[in-house]
């Protein structure tokens, strides 16, 4: 690979304290985003150099020849998000002992051939374009490249013409919202967003999206339900791309793998994932903040402002760069906590956050058998509850938030009919006494324990209450009495 001029053109990458602070607040300027993009190209080139050192094949000679003939074209191909996915996967396979052909090194010859095509064909139907109030954007809609599977979600088959038209219409409507409501964020998207990958919807989720640390500027997303959902999805995933690029240049956390509670997921998350969630939802919260007359938007704003602030405040062991970055994030969201929200919506938002934390504890904190026995014995003897420390268990797989109570809250705020359990319907309507009575009759349902704590106002640990009840089952124990005892 000697003589591959793109490799020798790389320069050191730097961000000023001012630029890092602006990034932390979610308000980067174009120069900082361009620097992050250049750093990602350098990363791709370093991956390519490592691949070349590990597997020597004619494919590299073909790419080097193409680079000499068309350096700009080759650089554009190497800068694409899906090249990063390929390069990381290829190098990982080679280091694991795969032969070059099995690792996919032949992809470099395909790139070389594409770079030397005199007039590369561009399918205008595979672009999403939009323009509003003088600000335009154009991104690739990638529904064919096999590498699109590298973002971790099952992609759709190639879109039919009517599906393409539907995506384009929704994208244009989402862009209007972004430009009108959060123009600085829309301007940042023009510097970050490169590729949109349609993926299959998940029946258990309200909509799914993802990005990858190896694919700066690529967003995998299921077809959004409406333009607002599309706008939020793009903002959310672009923030992940930006933070991934920052983390390539800076260590922000001393212990990025330490597990803890995340307000956005039902499984335990490493500190790096909690930071990602806070940073992504910072932009989402800012978007919902601009719609004060929409009850659902006001709910989302009230819910996520508190979650972002709490997650940022709880991040442990920040590096000096992390103190600057997360400090700016906190400073951005903290004033929002004082903004007025209608009491009904505030109750629902605060309840949704507490409900999630309670259900997360029930799912992820395990009470050992001996501790269950201690609890049950103390209850039978009329003693004070013993000190018991539950064990955090790593989840076997990714767990997105699933909550019938949250779904009912969304329906209520949209003015739709409420269909669900008697307890949940009563809770979202504000009839907490009826809800508590219904939950109390159903202690076999873990969600009912969270419901009892929500509506009773008692501060017991839900996993201890449920564990004690399970140990005492058959002894005519009252679940609410156990909660009071533990409180």
Residue 247 has pLDDT above 80, yes or no: yes
What pLDDT score does 121 carry?
A: 52
Q: In terms of DSSP bridges, do strands 127-132 and 135-141 run parallel, antiparallel, or are they unpaired? A: antiparallel
Contact (Cβ atoms closer than 8 angstroms) between residue 95 and residue 105: no
What pLDDT score does 42 carry?
A: 93
- How far apart CA 453 and CA 461 sit, in angstroms, is 9
Residue 8 has pLDDT above 50, yes or no: no
| N-terminal to C-terminal alpha carbon distance within the chain | 68
Average of pLDDT values for 290-319?
96
- How far apart CA 383 and CA 375 sit, in angstroms, is 9
Other beta carbons within 10 angstroms of residue 218's beta carbon come to 28
Percent of the chain clearing pLDDT 70 (strictly above): 94
Torsion (CA) 469, 473, 479, 485 in degrees, nearest 10: -50
Residue 1 has pLDDT above 70, yes or no: no
Q: How much is the pTM?
A: 0.93
- How far apart CA 379 and CA 44 sit, in angstroms, is 61
SS3 state of residue 341:
coil
Residue 2 has pLDDT above 50, yes or no: no
289 — pLDDT class (breaks 50, 70, 90) = very high
What pLDDT score does 58 carry?
A: 84
- How far apart CA 120 and CA 123 sit, in angstroms, is 10
418 — pLDDT class (breaks 50, 70, 90) = very high
Per the DSSP assignment, residues forming a β-bridge with 218 are 195
Higher pLDDT, 115 or 435: 435
446: Cα within 13 Å, side-chain hemisphere: 14
pLDDT tens digits, residue range 47-57?
Answer: 999 999 898 78
User: Picking from 58-67, 222-231, 312-321, which range would have the lowest pLDDT averaged per residue?
Assistant: 58-67
10 — pLDDT class (breaks 50, 70, 90) = low
Q: How far is CA 80 from the centre of its chain?
A: 21
4 — pLDDT class (breaks 50, 70, 90) = low
Contact (Cβ atoms closer than 8 angstroms) between residue 346 and residue 43: no
6 — pLDDT class (breaks 50, 70, 90) = very low
How long is the chain?
Answer: 487
pLDDT tens digits, residue range 133-174?
Answer: 999 999 999 999 999 999 999 999 999 999 999 999 999 999
120 — pLDDT class (breaks 50, 70, 90) = low
Residue 203 has pLDDT above 80, yes or no: no
Residue 397 has pLDDT above 80, yes or no: no
């Amino acid at each position: 690979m000697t003589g591959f001029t793109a490799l020798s053109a790389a320069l050191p990458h730097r961000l000023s304290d001012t630029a890092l602070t602006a990034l932390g607040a979610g308000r980067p300027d174009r120069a900082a985003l361009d620097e992050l993009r250049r750093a990602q190209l350098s990363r791709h080139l370093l991956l390519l150099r490592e691949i070349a050192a590990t597997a020597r094949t004619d494919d590299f000679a073909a790419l080097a020849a193409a680079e000499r003939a068309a350096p700009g074209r080759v650089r554009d191909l190497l800068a694409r998000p899906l090249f990063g996915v390929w390069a990381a996967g290829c190098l990982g396979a080679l280091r694991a002992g795969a032969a070059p052909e099995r690792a996919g090194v032949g992809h470099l010859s395909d790139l070389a051939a594409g770079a030397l095509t005199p007039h590369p064909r561009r399918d205008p139907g595979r672009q999403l374009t939009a323009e509003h109030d003088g600000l335009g954007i154009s991104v690739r809609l990638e529904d064919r490249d096999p590498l699109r599977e590298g973002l971790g979600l099952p992609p759709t088959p190639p879109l039919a013409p009517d599906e393409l038209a539907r995506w384009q219409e929704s994208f244009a409507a989402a862009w209007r919202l972004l430009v009108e409501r959060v123009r600085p964020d829309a301007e940042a998207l023009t510097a970050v967003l490169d590729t949109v990958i349609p993926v299959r919807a998940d029946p258990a989720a309200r909509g799914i999206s993802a990005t990858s640390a190896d694919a700066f500027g690529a967003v995998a997303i299921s077809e959004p339900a409406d333009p607002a959902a599309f706008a939020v999805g793009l903002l959310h995933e672009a923030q992940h791309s930006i933070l991934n690029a920052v983390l390539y240049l800076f260590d922000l956390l001393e212990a990025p793998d330490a597990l803890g509670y995340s307000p956005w997921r039902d499984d335990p998350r490493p500190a790096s994932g909690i930071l990602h969630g806070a940073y992504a939802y910072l932009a989402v919260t800012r978007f919902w903040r601009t719609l004060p007359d929409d009850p659902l938007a006001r709910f989302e704003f009230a819910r996520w402002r508190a979650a972002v602030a709490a997650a940022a405040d709880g991040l442990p062991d920040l590096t000096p760069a992390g103190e600057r970055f997360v400090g700016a994030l906190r400073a951005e969201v903290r004033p929002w906590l004082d903004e007025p929200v209608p009491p009904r919506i505030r109750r629902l938002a605060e309840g949704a956050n507490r409900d999630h934390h309670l259900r997360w504890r029930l799912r992820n904190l395990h009470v050992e058998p001996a501790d269950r026995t201690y609890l049950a014995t103390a209850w039978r003897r009329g003693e004070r509850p013993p000190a018991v420390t539950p064990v955090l268990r790593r989840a076997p797989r990714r767990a997105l938030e699933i909550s019938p109570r949250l779904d009912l809250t969304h329906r209520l705020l949209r003015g739709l009919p409420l269909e669900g359990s008697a307890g949940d319907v009563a809770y979202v309507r504000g009839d907490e006494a009826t809800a508590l009575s219904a939950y109390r009759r159903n202690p076999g349902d873990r969600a009912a324990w969270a419901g009892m704590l929500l509506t009773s106002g008692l501060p017991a640990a839900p996993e201890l209450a449920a564990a004690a009840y399970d140990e005492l089952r058959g002894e005519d124990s009252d679940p609410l009495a156990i909660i009071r005892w533990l409180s």
